[in-house]
C-alpha cells in the first residue's frame, strides 16, 4: 500500500523544507533553473517570482505581462527565462538582472506553454490558436509554424536527448515532430480527453502524458505503442514530472493529491495531500528523494 500523508503532512521519507508564499493568484507553473538554485513560479496574477531554492526567500519579481501567465521555462544555459501569457506574447527575461530582454509576438491567442530545445537554439510555444511556433534563439525571429493540431495546444515538450524531436499535446492527440524537416512523424491517439501535460523520461525513450480522465499514459515515442496506464487519481491529472535519475514519476491532480510512482514497477509508493489544485497547477521533480523501498 502506498504511504498516505496525514492532512497537511508529508509522508514518511519526505521532509517539508519550505512553503513559498507571495503570489495573489493560483500558481500555474513552476520550474527549476538548470543549476537547481532558483525556482521560478508563474501565476494569473501577471507576475513571475524567482525563489532561492536553499533559503526559500523571494529573490525577484518580474513584471511586464498584461495578461495571466501560464508558463515559464529556463534556457539550458541558465541565462534566459521565457514566459507565455494570455496577452498572446512570449517574454524573455535576463535571469541575472530580471530585466525584460525581448517580447515575441506572433500567436493570435493565449500562449499556454513554452519550452527550450536541448541545445538552447530553439524555443517552442504552444497556443490556443492551435499552433506550435518555433523561434530562433539567436535572432528571435520565427523559424517555423506547426499547424497540424485542430484544437488548443496545451503543452510542448522537447526530447531530453534530441534537439530535433518535439512533442505537443492537445485534445485527445499527441503529435511528435522532427523539427529539422518540420515533419509530423507520429500521432498518438490518447482517447482520454484533453492532454494537460507531457514529460519525457531522462533517456528520452518514453513519453508520459497527463489526461483529462485522471490517468497517466506511458508511450513508446518511436512506435506509438501505449506501454502502460497509471490509474489512481480520481480527477483531472494536470501535471507530471520525472525525477532526474528516472527512478520516480510524480503526478498532480485536481483531486488535490500528488502521487509518486516507482518507474521500475509503476506502483504508487506515496500519496501527498496537496490541499488545492486548479486545472493548470504544476509540479516538477529534480533530485533523488529518500524513499524507502525504492530500488
What's the CA gap between 238 and 241, in Å, rounded? 11
Please say whether the beta carbons of 8 and 275 come within 8 A: yes
Residue with cell 523520461: 201
Percentages helix, strand, coil for the chain, rounded to the nearest 5?
0, 50, 50
Tell me the residue range of the domain where 233 lies. 3-14+27-273
pLDDT in tens, 158-203: 999 999 999 999 988 999 999 999 899 999 999 867 899 999 999 9
What's the CA gap between 223 and 119, in Å, rounded? 25
> Domain for residue 291, yes or no?
no
> Domain for residue 284, yes or no?
no
- Supply the pTM of this predicted model: 0.88
What's the CA gap between 1 and 5, in Å, rounded? 12
> Domain for residue 292, yes or no?
no
Question: Which helix (H) or strand (E) is 276 found in, with range?
Answer: none
Q: How confident is the model at residue 29 (pLDDT cuts 50, 70, 90)?
A: confident
> Domain for residue 290, yes or no?
no
CATH code (residue 139): 2.130.10.10
> Domain for residue 245, yes or no?
yes
Q: What pLDDT sits at residue 290?
A: 39
> Domain for residue 162, yes or no?
yes
What's the CA gap between 64 and 66, in Å, rounded? 6
What's the structural domain count of the chain?
1
pLDDT in tens, 50-78: 998 888 899 999 999 999 999 999 999 99
Residue with cell 503526478: 251
> Domain for residue 263, yes or no?
yes
> Domain for residue 280, yes or no?
no
Q: What integer is the mean pLDDT of 261-285?
A: 74
**Which among 136, 181, 274, 50 is positioned nearest to 166, based on CA atoms?**
181
What's the CA gap between 76 and 34, in Å, rounded? 6
**Which among 24, 49, 177 is positioned nearest to 115, based on CA atoms?**
177
Amino acid at each position: 500500500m502506498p504511504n498516505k500523508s496525514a492532512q497537511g503532512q508529508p509522508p514518511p521519507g519526505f521532509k517539508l523544507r519550505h512553503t513559498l508564499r507571495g503570489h495573489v493568484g493560483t500558481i500555474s507553473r513552476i520550474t527549476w533553473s538548470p543549476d537547481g538554485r532558483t525556482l521560478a513560479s508563474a501565476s494569473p496574477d501577471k507576475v513571475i517570482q524567482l525563489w532561492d531554492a536553499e533559503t526559500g526567500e523571494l529573490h525577484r519579481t518580474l513584471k511586464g505581462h498584461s495578461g495571466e501567465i501560464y508558463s515559464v521555462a529556463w534556457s539550458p544555459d541558465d541565462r534566459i527565462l521565457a514566459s507565455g501569457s494570455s496577452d498572446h506574447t512570449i517574454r524573455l527575461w535576463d535571469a541575472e538582472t530580471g530585466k525584460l530582454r525581448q517580447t515575441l509576438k506572433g500567436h493570435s491567442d493565449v500562449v499556454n506553454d513554452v519550452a527550450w530545445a536541448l541545445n538552447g537554439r530553439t524555443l517552442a510555444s504552444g497556443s490556443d490558436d492551435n499552433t506550435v511556433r518555433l523561434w530562433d534563439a539567436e535572432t528571435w525571429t520565427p523559424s517555423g509554424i506547426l499547424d497540424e493540431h485542430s484544437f488548443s495546444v496545451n503543452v510542448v515538450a522537447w526530447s531530453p536527448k534530441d534537439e530535433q524531436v518535439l512533442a505537443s499535446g492537445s485534445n485527445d492527440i499527441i503529435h511528435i515532430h522532427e523539427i529539422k524537416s518540420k515533419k509530423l512523424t507520429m500521432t498518438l491517439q490518447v482517447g482520454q480527453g484533453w492532454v494537460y501535460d507531457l514529460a519525457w523520461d531522462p533517456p528520452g525513450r518514453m513519453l508520459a502524458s497527463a489526461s483529462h480522465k485522471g490517468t497517466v499514459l506511458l508511450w513508446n515515442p518511436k512506435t506509438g505503442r501505449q506501454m502502460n496506464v497509471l490509474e489512481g487519481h480520481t480527477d483531472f491529472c494536470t501535471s507530471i514530472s520525472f525525477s532526474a535519475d528516472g527512478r520516480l514519476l510524480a503526478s498532480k491532480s485536481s483531486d488535490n493529491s500528488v502521487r509518486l510512482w516507482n518507474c521500475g514497477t509503476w506502483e504508487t509508493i506515496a500519496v501527498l495531500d496537496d490541499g488545492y489544485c486548479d486545472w493548470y497547477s504544476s509540479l516538477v521533480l529534480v533530485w533523488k528523494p529518500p524513499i524507502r523501498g525504492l530500488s
